[in-house]
Amino acid sequence: MSDEIPRLHPSGMHLASGAYEVTITWLDWDPTILPEGQEGPHGSPPTAIAQTVLSYGAAKALIPMLVKMIAEYESKFGEIPSPGFEELGKS
């Protein structure tokens, strides 16, 4: 990998779909910083830090590759907690 490409560590993502593509907006927020005037344990609002736009074909091709990588990781290091995964996978 090139050192010129920024390395991002997003805290979350937002998925959107259009007629021809899937857009992943990568988000980051600091749970310890409160917006001005806000009280309580809510943290800062999410900030978009990057977007990835994929064709539906590329997005679909990515799924089995991610499944394989995650399965290999879990076989070495144990199951990754993923609340809601079973419910979302069935819809």
Task: Evaluate whether residue 5 is within a structural domain.
Answer: no
Task: Evaluate whether residue 7 is within a structural domain.
Answer: no
91 residues of the chain, pLDDT tens digit each: 567 888 888 888 999 999 999 999 999 877 666 666 665 556 667 889 999 999 999 999 999 999 999 999 999 999 998 877 777 765 5
Q: Is the dihedral of CA 81, 83, 86, 91 positive or negative?
A: negative
Residue 91: the pLDDT is 53
- Structural domain total, the chain: 1
Residue 35: the pLDDT is 62
Task: Evaluate whether residue 3 is within a structural domain.
Answer: no
- pTM, two decimal places: 0.70
Task: Evaluate whether residue 2 is within a structural domain.
Answer: no
Task: Evaluate whether residue 20 is within a structural domain.
Answer: yes
Structural domain that includes position 34: 12-89
Residue 33: the pLDDT is 66
Task: Evaluate whether residue 1 is within a structural domain.
Answer: no
Rounded CA-CA distance 69/91 in Å is 22
